[in-house]
Amino acid sequence: MQLDIVVAFFILGALARAVKSNLQLPPALYQSLTIFLLIAIGLKGGTALSQHASPILLPQSLAVISLGIAIPLIAFPLLFRFGQLNRTDSASIAAHYGSVSVATYAVAVAVLESRGIPYEAYFPLFVVLLEMPAIAVGIALARQGGKKVSWGPLLHEMTCNQGIVLMSGSLIIGYLAGEQVNSIMPLFGDLFHGVLALFLLEMGIVAASRISDIRMAAPFITAFAVLMPLVGAVLGGGLAHLLGFTAGGIFLLATLGASASYIAVPAAMRTALPDANHGLSIAASLGVTFPFNVLVGIPLYLATIEWLSKTQ
């Protein structure tokens, strides 16, 4: 299977870290690339939403939210019972896996576009919807152990974090702007793959540096961080199939189900569960799950879905 060109930059970043190269992107550039990707994805989704808005989006959205609730409920007992992690850490990690990674989604979209596979272009709506339920479920699971949560700052973090504000804002702008979006698409459309390659270069460096954080829990956390994407992909793909999505849409929801958050949820968990081991959550989601999805998972989900659609 041919390696996608943007994924090759991820490997380059990881290799650079492995050989202790001084390769480094300025933090401000990394932040700018993140903002660019969030706006580009949101705008594209908003434009598609304006063309495909229909009442069927409501049940689809509710079904997608239920996926975001189900995944942490599956992850939690695995972490708590088999992993022997405490309730707070289990709930925090489970929340990371119920939420989604925009970067993983961007890679999946890039793969679909490079192969010319059609998909439901309003998917950014589902990305936004999937960000939040898992945080609430994670906190509810932690609270079962008597943990008190101050909801004010948490609600603010859940609804007003950079990812949600930029992506939902761009989604609304794209939806309302109509044809006017074309005037800014040379920046946010044509440059998407190039910017994603730069972003993945940095992500490769960061992911490789996070692997060592797993330390003592290495075998269990590694196994969990590989198993959960597979479980999430099956759930997401199955749900998308039931909802009648195209093969591209099934692949995207499988990828969203498989991905784990490492930006929005960590920020929310720091506010809600300050005594959780945040390093472990990030190491699992960014050090193991993200590279697994980019290098093995995404080609696997796409090939399996293509094979299943051929055999039907």
Chain residues that interact with another protein, rule: CB under 8 A:
1, 78, 81-84, 216-220, 222-224, 226-227, 230, 292, 295-296, 299-300, 303-304, 307
Query: Measured from the CB atom, is 30 or 292 closer to another protein?
Result: 292
Query: Measured from the CB atom, is 16 or 220 closer to another protein?
Result: 220
Assess contact for 253 and 239: CB atoms under 8 A: yes
Closest contact distance (angstroms) between CB of 272 and another protein is 26
Closest contact distance (angstroms) between CB of 195 and another protein is 26
Q: 């198993």: which residue's tokens?
A: 227
Query: Measured from the CB atom, is 4 or 120 closer to another protein?
Result: 4
Query: Measured from the CB atom, is 151 or 307 closer to another protein?
Result: 307
Give how far Cα 138 sits from Cα of 24, 103, 141, 148, 247, Å.
34, 22, 5, 13, 31
Closest contact distance (angstroms) between CB of 217 and another protein is 7
What is the rounded distance in angstroms from the CA atom of residue 40 to the CA atom of residue 23? 26
| DSSP 8-state secondary structure symbol assigned to residue 295 | I
Give how far Cα 36 sits from Cα of 42, 120, 187, 278, 282, Å.
10, 21, 9, 26, 23
Burial 205-214 (b: 16+ CB within 10 A, else e): bbbbbbbebb
Query: Measured from the CB atom, is 82 or 151 closer to another protein?
Result: 82
Closest contact distance (angstroms) between CB of 172 and another protein is 39
Closest contact distance (angstroms) between CB of 212 and another protein is 14
